[in-house]
Each structure stands twice: as C-alpha cells, then as structure tokens.
Amino acid sequence: MRLPSHSANLLTGFALLALTLAGCSATPSTDGATDGTTDGAKIAVVASTNVWGDIAAQIGGDAINVSSLISDPAQDPHSFEADAQVQLALSKADVVVENGGGYDDYVETLLRGADNTTATVLNAVDISGFDQEPATGELNEHVWYDFPTVKKVAAEITKTFSKLDPANSDTFIANEKAFGAAVDVLAADTAALKTGSAAGSGVAITEPVPLYLLSAAGLINKTPVEFSEAIEEGTDVAPTVMQKTLALFSEKTVSLLAYNEQTTGPETEKVLAAAKAAGIAIVSVTETLPNGKSYLSWMTDNVDAVATALK
Ligand SMILES: [Zn+2]
C-alpha cells in the first residue's frame, strides 16, 4: 500500500539530491533545475537504491548526476512502489543501475513505460554471474553484500561511463581502482574472521540480506529457511518454524543474530527479543545506506559489527 507520505518522501529525496549536487559543483547551477538533468555535459544515472547509486557516484564523481530511487532507511525496498517522479527520472537516464534478481523489477517496466530505449542498463545480479535459478533454494539477491560482485559491477559502471564520456575515462578508471582497493581491504578483513576463535560459528538471520558477508566470514547460517523466506516475502511464519528459530538462541546454537532493520514486524521482534534474552550478539543490517554513509563506510561498519559480535 502506498501512503501519501511515501511520495512526499520521494519528492524530498529528489529535492535533497538536487541540493547536494548543486552544493558539490564548483560553479553553482544557475538554471534552477531540480532534477539535475539539464546539464547536458553530465551523464544522468538512475540507480534503484542508494547502494548502487553511491557506487556509481564513487566512480563517476563530478562527471555524473546520480539519483537513487530508494534512499529512505525506513523503507522496505521489497515493497517499493514507484510513482510519476520515478518514471520521469528514468525517462531522462543515460545509465540505469538496477539490482536485478527480482529485487527491483519495476525499474525495467518503468523504463519501457517511459519510452527510454537508449539508456544502458546495468543489472548487478546479471553481472554477478550467479546462477539465477539454483537447483537448491533461491538466489540471494542481496548481492551488494558480496564484495566480488561489487567489484564486477564497479568495472561495468566504469566501462559504461568511459564509453559515454571518453574525455573523463582516465578519472573513472582511477576512481574505480581506488574504490576496488578499498573493497579488497573489506574482503580481506572479512576473510580474516575465518581464522578467528569464532570461525565456523552458527549465525541467525531475519532475512538473507547479509548472508554473502557472513559466509565470506566463514559463518554458517542456522536459520530455518522457511523463517527467513517468510519474513522476506511478508508471509506468516508457521508456529513450528518459529519454535525452531527461537531455539537457536535458547540453545545457543548461534553466536550472532543479523537483524534486518528494514523489514521488521511482530515475528522478527520476537526473534530479536529471544536473542537479547539469551545474550546473543545482535548485528543490525539494512538494505540501503544509513543516513550519511557511503557504501565503503557502511560496509566497514558492517564488517566491524560482525567482528565485534564474534569476540
Ligand atoms: Zn531484502
């Protein structure tokens, strides 16, 4: 259901974005544009979430204008509903970065609806190379928690920007190199957790959100798959499944609970309370960037939070 405040938030997001962009440029914009697309020299980028939007911005720097459709940390991206503002942004996009894997299908639907046939569409799940229909289970579409995928997407973004703006290609490549080096540090810090005293510990999740990160740290997800799927899909958790999930904490099968702050309800709150009562460490995770964070600072926080929880 779309609440009136939702579209207001979206509008505010766009207005803030325009302000931010104006604040960043050396010469203040004089055209009074609010959508950032009237400056023909810049590549117009639309990302479905501010995670991909920030990664695009790290590479594109001043040569691009990027708008992210979902930036509100309080919003569940799985239940995002697009409106006319989104369609407008997409109609003007030169490059679209979407997550894929069923996460943000509305992007391509709207792109077609907006009659934008020229935009280059980068789909992170496609770029990841992951099997999108694995024989066992489902693809975990939260691929921005997978550092190798993030580097692959950054490389595709760099190639695309370089094609559209060859004069700035050297800058894009240098930016990608710096970004990639920082991602390598995160990956190394995560891999280092495999050799710690908590190596191979069990973990619980409310949603598959951070699983790539947790498994890169050598941790084993013990959550009944029926539980995390029900939470992600917004369906009811069967009583037996709930019982099994709660037992992870009372029996201390897990050393941490990764709790998705963006998809909460009575069932996840019950799980959170059980983990707290059992003294299990809680690692809060989100699907989009918390306010004031970049992808790199956010992921650094996430890796640090996992490391701290395992101490
Ligand atoms: Zn999710």
Tokens of 205: 């999740």
Q: Look at the chain and report how many structural domains it folds into.
A: 2
* Distance of CA 142 from the midpoint of ligand 1 (Å): 6
- For residues 190 and 147, is the Cβ–Cβ distance under 8 A? yes
Q: Note down pLDDT in tens along the chain; length 311 residues.
A: 333 333 333 433 443 333 333 333 333 333 333 333 344 579 999 999 999 999 999 999 999 999 999 988 888 887 788 788 888 999 999 999 999 999 999 999 999 999 999 999 999 999 999 999 888 778 999 999 999 999 999 999 999 999 999 999 999 999 999 999 999 999 999 999 999 888 899 999 999 999 999 999 999 999 999 999 899 888 999 999 999 999 999 999 999 999 999 888 999 999 999 999 999 999 999 999 999 999 999 999 999 999 999 98
* Distance of CA 144 from the midpoint of ligand 1 (Å): 11
* Distance of CA 170 from the midpoint of ligand 1 (Å): 35
- For residues 270 and 246, is the Cβ–Cβ distance under 8 A? yes
Residues 151 and 61 in one domain: yes
* Distance of CA 28 from the midpoint of ligand 1 (Å): 38
Q: What is the rounded CA–CA span in Å between residue 268 and residue 232?
A: 11
Nearest Cα neighbor of 62 from 22, 31, 33, 90 is 22
Q: What is the rounded CA–CA span in Å between residue 55 and residue 161?
A: 13
Query: Does residue 187 belong to any structural domain of this protein?
Result: no
Query: Does residue 232 belong to any structural domain of this protein?
Result: yes
* Distance of CA 232 from the midpoint of ligand 1 (Å): 6
CA within 13 Å, CB half, 88 = 10
Residues 14 and 110 in one domain: yes
* Distance of CA 270 from the midpoint of ligand 1 (Å): 19
Query: Does residue 115 belong to any structural domain of this protein?
Result: yes
Residues 12 and 139 in one domain: yes
* Distance of CA 228 from the midpoint of ligand 1 (Å): 10
Among 153, 170, 187, residue at a domain's last position: 170
pLDDT confidence of residue 40: 52
Query: Does residue 284 belong to any structural domain of this protein?
Result: yes
Among 152, 170, 188, residue at a domain's last position: 170
Any idea what the CATH number is for the domain that residue 239 is in?
A: 3.40.50.1980
* Distance of CA 260 from the midpoint of ligand 1 (Å): 8
* Distance of CA 311 from the midpoint of ligand 1 (Å): 27
Residues 165 and 216 in one domain: no
Residues 29 and 114 in one domain: yes
Residues 26 and 118 in one domain: yes
pLDDT confidence of residue 310: 92
Query: Does residue 188 belong to any structural domain of this protein?
Result: no
* Distance of CA 23 from the midpoint of ligand 1 (Å): 32
* Distance of CA 162 from the midpoint of ligand 1 (Å): 31
Q: What is the rounded CA–CA span in Å between residue 66 and residue 97?
A: 10
Residues 123 and 230 in one domain: no
* Distance of CA 77 from the midpoint of ligand 1 (Å): 7
* Distance of CA 6 from the midpoint of ligand 1 (Å): 19
| pTM attached to this predicted model | 0.85
Residues 166 and 200 in one domain: no
Q: What is the rounded CA–CA span in Å between residue 130 and residue 86?
A: 28
* Distance of CA 256 from the midpoint of ligand 1 (Å): 19
Residues 200 and 304 in one domain: yes
CA distances from 123 to 34, 144, 184, 243 (A): 27, 12, 22, 38
Strand order through the sheet with 281-285 = 220-221, 202-205, 256-260, 281-285
Query: Does residue 186 belong to any structural domain of this protein?
Result: no
Residues 141 and 15 in one domain: yes
Among 121, 153, 170, residue at a domain's last position: 170
Residues 69 and 134 in one domain: yes
* Distance of CA 229 from the midpoint of ligand 1 (Å): 10
Query: Does residue 190 belong to any structural domain of this protein?
Result: no
* Distance of CA 38 from the midpoint of ligand 1 (Å): 34
Tokens of 301: 């926080």
Range of the domain at 222: 196-309
* Distance of CA 173 from the midpoint of ligand 1 (Å): 31
* Distance of CA 261 from the midpoint of ligand 1 (Å): 10
Residues 220 and 152 in one domain: no
HEC-encoded secondary structure of 264-294: CCHHHHHHHHHHHHCCCEEEEECCCCCCCCC
Query: Does residue 177 belong to any structural domain of this protein?
Result: no
